[in-house]
A and B are shown apart, each in its own frame.
Chain A
Amino acid sequence: MTTVSSRPVERSAPSVQKTGPLAWSQKHLFNSVFNSVLTVVLVGVIGYALFNLFTWALTKAKWAVVTGTFSTMMSGLYPSGSYWRLWFILGMVLTLSGLSWGILARNQKKLFTTPPLVGIGLAALLLVLLPMTRPYLLYSLGLLALLAISAVVGQALGRKVPSAGTYISGGWFVSYFVMLYLLGGNTFTDSMLYTVVAQIGLGILAGWLLSTLITAATVTTWLGRLGLLALGYVVGYYVLGNVLYAPLVGLGLSYSIFLILMQIVGVLLGVLLIWVFSDAQTLQTIGRVALFLAGFVGVFALMGWLPKQLGLEFGLETVRTNNWGGLLLTLFLAISGISLCFPAGVLLALGRRSKLPLIRTFSVAYIELVRGVPLIAILFMGQVLIPLFLPEGMRPDSVVRAIVGLTIFSSAYLAENVRAGLQAVPQGQAEAAQSLGLNKPLTTSLIVLPQALKTAIPAIVGQFISLFQDTTLLGIVGLSELLGITQDLLASPKYLGTYAPAFVFIGAIYWVFCYGMSFGSRRIEEALNTDLR
């Protein structure tokens, strides 16, 4: 039996919906006495500040320091005849970026949602406002269109080809060395910058290609045996030879007999190694390592030795690094620093968590030592001290020294960020992987690291942003990156004293890049999370 209340329920009229700007401002700006006062005061202050800012920007500011020096700020003293190389690099980077964006967004229905459209629109607007000459403006707008088109292509590719991501990563890797070559021109036989860096990169590529393409078991087994023989020979002949030289020859052994003896020792050592490591799988692994090394060394030989022999001249004019400047140099330093400090940081983080006491001590000592010292000290001392540690006559490029300094510094901080990510991976993951039979390196690279890096993305990108901002320190150490070149320009009589416009301009440039990076990192995080949800 239900009871019914005798008193009818009073219905009051529904409260008036308060919408509209008046209601909104009452709720958000004036909802208490304190807030009302605060709002009034702030509106007054901000209004005054903005008014002054706009009058200054439009009337008093001497923007000539920006309009007159735009190309110098962008690329330093880069010869204008070679500008096409810079445009090519820009085009290549934008194409790769568009493709990457498309591939990352392959699961989204609509590629050009509001934020990217707004971003592209803003970019186009900015380009129109910037003081560029007509053809450059057209190139820039064309590049923007290229970005959009390659994004569309990238999304299509991402959907059709499953391993598109790997190809694009390979593309990024190769593009760095293409960029290096285009920037520097024909200096393969000259500066240390190229003979080491470019050859290392291409060497890695060649070695990796060789070792993955040649997988026939018999070939690799025999190569493994050959490799062990060579290793034994080298160790026996060179290392043991150096060690035993003094005592044996001192005892009266003749030199030629000593040489023969050492060679026999080397061969015997090689045979011993073959006998010890005689099961097929080890030999095959060693064989593939040997292939990799062969490719690597081969590239060095080819690129260092062959051009000299053939007297070849590649057609690009040399542009030395002291002519690189402005935003170009800033971007180059940042990209190189970021690419190098990431693997170094990951290795350090793994080393710090290693169970082997020596490795852990080295890693901890390096990280704590580097994190305790200001970057400017490392950079400046690097410029001064590096030549002291190298043999007479070896004077590395100041750009190389700067990159080394930035990498040393950033890798220590990155190591801590990656370590935090590693700690967040549950112990059970490694246990499960080991119980499936995966060895330690496989467990780390396939299971632990991907999860750790995904967790650490915000911190890692934060460190990249820091590195980008830290390139400014090189301006006061003598390099002509964006800040340095601005200070040089402001010291010239023509633009003396016009600090505010110049700094507002380059401040805005840095802001765009840094904000763009943190925005991009948020999007990457979201993309990775939606992948897994």
Chain B
Amino acid sequence: MTQSEMAAPMTPRNDVGSEAVIVAKDVNKWYDNGFHVLKGVSMNVYKGEVVVVMGPSGTGKTTINSTYNELEPYQEGSIEIDGVLIANDIKDIEVVRREVGMVFQQFNLFPHLTVLQNVTLAPIWVRRWPKAKAEEIAMRLLDRVGIAEQAYKFPGQMSGGQQQRVAIARSLAMQPKVMLFDEPTSALDPEMVREVLDVMRNLAKDGMTMVCVTHEVGFAREVADRVVLMDGGVLVEENTPDAFFNNPKEERSKAFLSQIL
């Protein structure tokens, strides 16, 4: 289905919750130099759903992801996270940022802190948990992503795949309602891509709501509930993975798929 054919955003599939965690309506964004990077994008993400966003570079897929946690502002339209509108209200922004976790392409771990400190920093300072509780939860998360034994090392002493897993644990420590992934494996050596994708797969299985910007077709086919194609700032096509990869409807989808498949 295309944007133009949709009267309303897609309904979720049956085993996914029907409450929408992210509701984006007609979002428009211009850069400072006047470039219209997001053109009327509407998207719903439901609880427990895994949405994979694909598309050529520079077409707004990272930007739309960044608007979901107010890292980038938007000028027109509306975005609600768990019912809270992203606007200029300081309190609302804080709430949104706590509830939305983000994993970056360049990991962005804090190099001057140990792995454990990286993970416990936000819970201690933002959610105001006592140190013991934060560390306990942090160790559990590090165990979940498979690097509990590295807790006292510094990011600079670890490989890319390990660092990205720490980044995932760091975001999970805040117990977000939705996790945004911005090309999490693009900066990794091929042999480390798999370990990160495994973590993400497990995360999806545990019911986390995820929006992933990625080129990993295999991951999309296996894990995604929905695949969205963004091109030129517009949401071109939105469909289940099978339908999207095997039977793309739009011309641009076909062109894109012919390049990556």
Chain A interface (Cβ < 8 Å from any Cβ of B) = 279, 426, 428-429, 431-439, 442, 446-447, 450-451, 454, 531-533
Contact = CB atoms under 8 A, between A and B. Distances in A.
DSSP class of A's interface residues: helix, strand, loop or mixed? helix
Contacts of A429: 108, 110
Contact of A437 (B91, B97, B110): B97
A450 B111 CA distance: 10
Contacts of A454: 112
Contact of A438 (B106, B109, B111, B122): B122
B126 interface: yes
Contact of A431 (B104, B111, B127): B104
Contacts of B126: 436-438, 442
Interface string B113-138: 00000000110011100000000000
B125 A446 contact: yes
Contact of B156 (A450, A451, A532): A532
Contacts of A450: 112
B111 A436 contact: no
Given A451-B112, A532-B154, A434 B71 contact: yes
B160 interface: no
A433 B106 CA distance: 13
17 contacts: A429-B110, A432-B102, A432-B104, A435-B69, A435-B101, A436-B97, A436-B121, A436-B126, A437-B98, A437-B126, A438-B121, A438-B126, A446-B125, A447-B110, A451-B110, A451-B111, A532-B154
A438 B112 contact: no
Nearest to B154: A532
Contacts of B170: 436
* Those 9 A-B pairs whose CB atoms lie nearest each other, nearest first: A432-B108, A436-B122, A435-B102, A428-B108, A437-B97, A437-B98, A437-B126, A532-B154, A450-B112
B171 to A, nearest CB: 7
B157 interface: yes
Nearest to A447: B110
Given A435-B171, A533-B154, 12 more contacts: A426-B108, A431-B108, A433-B110, A434-B97, A435-B69, A435-B102, A435-B104, A438-B122, A442-B125, A442-B126, A451-B111, A454-B112
Interface string B82-114: 000000000100100110111010101111100
Nearest to B170: A436
Contacts of A435: 69, 71, 97, 100-102, 104, 171
Contacts of B69: 435
A378 to B, nearest CB: 36
A446 B110 CA distance: 10
B50 interface: no
A139 to B, nearest CB: 41
Contacts of B94: 437, 439
A437 B124 CA distance: 11
A450 to B, nearest CB: 5
Max count, chain B CB within 10 A of own CB: residue among A279, A435, A439: A435
A426 B121 CA distance: 19
Interface in B166-187: 167, 170-171, 174
A428 B104 contact: yes
B171 A436 contact: yes
A88 to B, nearest CB: 37
A439 B174 CA distance: 14
B108 A437 contact: no
A437 B122 contact: yes
Contacts of B157: 533
Contacts of A447: 110
A426 B195 CA distance: 26
B174 A436 contact: yes
A431 B171 CA distance: 13
Nearest to A448: B110
A132 B125 CA distance: 54
A439 B170 CA distance: 17
A432 B66 CA distance: 11
Given A434-B71, A437-B97, A446 B121 contact: yes
B110 A432 contact: yes
Nearest to B90: A439
A434 B104 CA distance: 12
Nearest to A453: B112
Max count, chain A CB within 10 A of own CB: residue among B91, B98, B100, B112: B112
Interface string B133-162: 000000000000000000000101100000
A441 to B, nearest CB: 11
A428 B102 CA distance: 12
Max count, chain B CB within 10 A of own CB: residue among A432, A434, A450, A451: A432
A426 B109 CA distance: 11
A434 B174 CA distance: 12
A432 B157 CA distance: 20
Nearest to B167: A432
Contacts of A442: 125-126
Contacts of B109: 432
A532 B94 CA distance: 31
B111 A532 contact: yes
Contacts of B122: 436-438
B71 A431 contact: yes
Contacts of A532: 111-112, 154, 156
B123 to A, nearest CB: 9
Nearest to B105: A428
Contacts of B125: 438, 442, 446
Interface in B49-102: 69, 71, 91, 94, 97-98, 100-102
B176 to A, nearest CB: 9
A486 B97 CA distance: 62
Contacts of A531: 154
B174 A437 contact: yes
A435 B126 CA distance: 12
A110 B171 CA distance: 39
Interface string B208-225: 000000000000000000
Nearest to B97: A437
A431 B104 CA distance: 9
Nearest to B96: A437
B157 to A, nearest CB: 7
A151 B138 CA distance: 35
A436 B102 CA distance: 8
A279 B91 CA distance: 10
B98 to A, nearest CB: 4
Contacts of B101: 435-436
B189 to A, nearest CB: 19
A432 B100 CA distance: 12
Max count, chain B CB within 10 A of own CB: residue among A437, A446, A533: A437
Nearest to A439: B94
Max count, chain B CB within 10 A of own CB: residue among A433, A436, A442: A436
Contacts of B102: 432, 435
A428 B156 CA distance: 16
